Each structure stands twice: as C-alpha cells, then as structure tokens.
Chain A
Amino acid sequence: MDYALLLVQTLNGVQLGLLLFLVASGLTLVFGILDFVNLAHGALYMLGAFICAWLTLALGNFLIAMVIAVPVTAGAGYLIERTVARPLYARDHLDQVLATFGLILVIDTMVHLVFGPEGIAVPLPAWLNGQLDFGANVILPTYRLLIIGFGILTAFGLFWMVTYTKIGMLIRAGASNRTMVSALGIDIQTLFAFVFALGAALAGLAGMLISPITEASIGMGNNIIITAFVVIIVGGIGSMKGAFIGAMLIGLIDTLGRSFLDTIFALFMSPAAAETSAPAISAMLIYIIMAAVLAVRPQGLFPPKAR
C-alpha cells in the first residue's frame, strides 16, 4: 500500500466531500424548509462558476471575483425564487421537478449565449498555484488545501448559523412548524426567499471553488446535482447533519474507490480481471452505497424529525 498516495487521495476525498456538502446543504435546506425540489440547483453551481470565471478574467483576481460572484449568484437565486419557485411551493413535486428542469434548459442556454460554448479556465494567483511538500512523498497543491480550509469554515459557519442565530432559529422553526413562524409575526415569504438565495450562494460558491481545477463548463451542474441527490438521500432529506456526513462519505468513497479499488480487487482476483472490473465498479460505487443504505434505512441515515 502506498501510504503517501492514500493520504493524498483521502485529502482529495475530503475536498470533494466538502464541495458536495456546499451543494447538498443548500438543496437539503430548500427541500427541508420550503418542501421544494430544485433540479436547477446544479445550474446555480455552474452559474456561480461562470460568473466568477468571467470576473476573474475581467478583474485579474480570483479572490476579488469570488467576493463579487457569491452575492451575484445569491441574487440569481432570489430572482428564481420570486419567479419560478414561489408559485410552486403548494404544488406537487412533479410540477417542481418539471419546472426546474425547464429552468435548467433556460440557464444552460443563457450561459451558452452569454459566455459561449467553451468552458472558461480560471487562473489562480501565483501564491495559490504552488505545491506544499510535506516530505515523505506527500506533496499537496496549495489550492486544494485552501478549498478544504474554506469548506470547513463554511460548514462551521452554516452550523453556527442554524444553531445559534435568530435566522437559524427561524429556519429550524420553519422546518418543523410553519404556522409557528407565521404566528411569531415573521414574514415567511422573506424567510423562504432568504433560504433559497442562501442555497444558491452555497452552490455557486462550490462551483467557484472547483472552477480553477476543472474550469467552468456548461455541463458541470448536471453531474453534481445527481451526486448531491445521492448525498441527501443517504444522509436523510432535510437534515443538515445528514448532508454533512453523507457528503463526506460519498466524497471519500468515490475518490478512494477510483484510486484503490483495483488494488483491493487484485487481492482476491487476477490482476487482469481487477484491472477491467475496477473502473466499472468504482463508477457505480456511490450508487451501490446508496442502494445499500436505502435497503436498510429507506429514510436515509439521519431522517429529520417529522414535521
């Protein structure tokens, strides 16, 4: 076993897990509180990446671009909430799914129109672009460590907000008791709009963070959304804790599966068979995990308390 590689891949898994958490937390907040299924959540992830990429090229600085792009993406989320989401809260989930499917087509095409069909590569400032050598063959890109730090900070911020702030209290109250929120004299419409915009900002942030590694591209949102679904299905839809644990689990399993499954398979089958079957199995691994979790707990690992 190559322990240096194991360490590096574990950190990559943590990084993927944190990004997934940013996407999944917004999805699960919006579903838990608004009872709204937003397929276009992935499109917001992509939108954030494109806005930030374009601003990076225009302003010449990735970090400043990000500071501007996050509220802009939140604004886009707010706009979507007002126009498409709000009329559908009381509707069937099928309606929400179809309308937000239409929304994806609209957002994807708009991005295509505005930014062109090609992806946009995002240059990093020099100080982020290097690598840190920890010795013993452990060399990590600075930027990946930054993503991890940033992800952890955001996760903490989110938990702190939900647990300790007034808005967090409202969010939790909204999740468990809508009439109570209204009875407290709080405008539930404003709360909903805020939650939606927050979800958009989180998804957009995740898109921005990944874009220097993968570049901003039109299809990027379509893949992440399904993985985020898997995360919240495993974690329990509507649960913040479930989203976090689900995201870390899926991030780690996916990354480690892709790099070590052939080695593991080679322990009990011929190297050739391992070589051919490992990629196929690792491509399906997270879905198999999902199926296994569902077979035992149809409501996910941490189902939120009944409303």
Chain B
Amino acid sequence: MNRKTITGIVLLGLLAVLPPIFIATGNAFYVDLTTRLVILAIAATSLNLVLGYGGLVSFGHAAFVGIGAYAVGIPAYHGIYGGGELIASFNGFYHIALAVILSALFALITGAICLRTKGVYFIMITMAFAQMVYYLFISLETYGADDGLVIDLRSELPLVNLDKPLQMYYFAFVSLLAALLIVRTIVRSRFGMVLQGAKGNPERMVTLGYNIYLYRLAAYVISGAMAGYAGALLGNFTTFISPDMMDWHRSGELMFMIILGGAATTLGPLMGSAAFIVVEEILSHYTVYWHLPFGLMLIAIVLFARGGVMGIITGKDKS
C-alpha cells in the first residue's frame, strides 16, 4: 500500500469518528463542514468514474447535483404550499429515487449527444447542457427562480432523522462509503476494464469489437445518477437550493477536487474534497478575496505538474 492510500484510509477513519467529538467539544460548526465535505466527496467520486477512469472531461456535473437537489426541494415545496399532492406525499425514498432517476435520465439524454463528439467539443457541450439546466431553473418563478427555494421539510426516512445533524452526517458518510465501494467495484469489473481501455486507446478497443460509445454512455449515466444522489443529500443538508448550485463554477470545483486528490484512484476524490474544503475554509477565514490565491494555486498546479494534469490522471508522473 502506498502512502497516498494510507493517507486516504486515515482520512476515512477520522471522518468516521470526528463528528461526535466535535459535538462533545462544542464545535458543532465542524459537523456542518464535514457533512458538506462528505457530500461533495460523493459528487467528486461520481465524476471520477467518467473523468478519471473514463478520460471523459465532463464539465457539467454540477447540473446533476442540482437536479438531485431540486428533486427533493420541489416535492417539499408542494408538501407545504399545496398542489401536486402526489409528489408531496412521497417520503424520502421517493425523493431520493426521484433524484437518482431524473439525473440518470438527464445523463442518458445529454450523454447520448455529448458522447458523439470528442475532446474539446465534449468539454464545451457538457458545459452547455449544464448551463441549460441552470437557466431552466432560473426561469421557474414558482420555485424561486434565481433566488432559490428554502426546503422547510427534509426527506423522511426510516431509522434516521435528517433534522438531527449527527444523523444527517452519518447518513451521508455511509452513502459515501457505498459510493466508494460502487465505483471501486465498477472500475475493477469487466465493464471497468473496457472503460479504462477506451480511455487509454479507443481505437484499439473498437478494433477488438467494443462499442465504446455504449460503455461510455453507461458510465456517464451511472455517474450522473450518483451525482444526483449527492444532490439529494445536499438539498436535505442545506435546506436551501438555488440555481447557483448548478453554476459551471461548481462543476469546475468538482474537477479541481479530483485533480487535487488524484484522479483514477478510489480515495483521490475524497482527499481532493477534503483539501478543497480545508483550503476554502482557511483562505475564506482570512479574506473575502480568497478566490485570488485559490485561482493562483490552481494555475500553479496545472503549470508545474509534471506531465500535465493528464499525467496525474494516467499516473505517468508517478516516480
């Protein structure tokens, strides 16, 4: 086991035990922070499946997160303000199922189009489709347009009460463990080998008889569904949703987390999210202009990473 893996496992261990300690020592604020970290890590893990293992630079993942969050927020809105009795009466399982199904569906439709293109087209088109969702929710006056929507009613689930911070946290944490396990299982499976083969050499994979388009689309849908799930958690956690969750800056941040932590590794996205949250927390503590050092850091990482960022992804800079 290399040092990076060990660091990741230690981090996972800390996340398992720290929040109750935060509460006991009167630092409840940090529970919020770790909950956000864990939810972001799920989203980043989902992106890692396509970006890290599939080599598909999707710049629109925040849209899936947003769709997931609205899938919780809109039924909750109807639950309180009436109308839409059907969705409003759904409990948490239905909210989550709705989030997963809608984001998977969106991934299927947009992925079918995006994946016909390559390279920079793919980057721009994923970005554009995410922006489409962003503008769609801005146009929906009923659900708060660009002011967003307050969720007064969290999803109801058996056994856990998401209104309790610690239960919310552990629900997210267990979800993260599941997400990590799912992605790890997928990438090691025969499907995962094809996906990674198509990243390394698409021409070869086609010559072997693989219709790589379908494999990539499947990965894209799985990834979108997982990101939607993360969105459902995020909506329940923040109890406030707005189109800003889908701003393409959010997608850029998710990519950044993966690059920071190590793409195409199981725990990389988690470590990247942790680093991101810590950097954000520290920098924003000192200055409202924290995006400045943050941006400079991002530029420096790209400029000075040996073999470029793709080198980090394919592991060619390992030494």
Contacts and interface: CB of A to CB of B under 8 A. Distances in A.
Interface residues of A, number: 44
A79 interface: no
Given A103-B295, A226-B128, A98 B256 contact: yes
A95 B139 contact: no
B135 A283 contact: yes
A294 B116 contact: yes
Given A93-B119, A109-B289, A283-B136, A290 B125 contact: yes
Interface stretch (B31-39, B68-76, B165-173, B301-309): B301-309
A88 interface: yes
B300 to A, nearest CB: 8
Contacts of B116: 294-295, 298
B113 A106 contact: no
A233 B139 CA distance: 24
B120 A37 contact: yes
Contacts of A82: none
A279 B131 contact: no
B19 to A, nearest CB: 30
Given A98-B259, A108-B291, A280 B310 contact: no
B117 A294 contact: yes
Contact of B140 (A84, A102, A233, A280): A280
Q: Which applies to chain A's interface (DSSP): helix, strand, loop or mixed?
A: helix
B296 A102 contact: yes
B121 A102 contact: no
Contact of B255 (A98, A113, A284, A288): A98
A105 B128 contact: no
B128 A99 contact: no
A237 B309 contact: no
B193 interface: no
Interface in A33-88: 37, 84, 87-88
A226 B130 CA distance: 10
Given A284-B132, A287-B128, A87 B303 contact: yes
Contact of A102 (B117, B135, B136, B302): B302
Could you say which interface size class chain B belongs to?
Answer: 35 or more
Contact of A95 (B129, B132, B296, B310): B310
A95 B117 contact: no
Interface stretch (B83-91, B183-191, B224-232, B244-252): B244-252
B81 to A, nearest CB: 16
A269 interface: no
A108 to B, nearest CB: 7
User: Counting chain A CB atoms within 10 Å of each CB, which of B140, B299, B302 scores highest?
Assistant: B302
B247 A233 contact: no
A295 B113 contact: yes
Interface in A155-183: none
A44 to B, nearest CB: 15
A142 to B, nearest CB: 30
Nearest to B114: A294
Contact of A101 (B141, B252, B292): B252
A200 B250 CA distance: 25
Interface of A: 31, 37, 84, 87-88, 91-95, 97-99, 101-106, 108-110, 112-113, 222, 226, 229-230, 232-233, 237, 279-280, 282-284, 287-288, 290-291, 294-295, 298-299
5 contacts: A101-B255, A102-B302, A237-B120, A284-B132, A291-B113
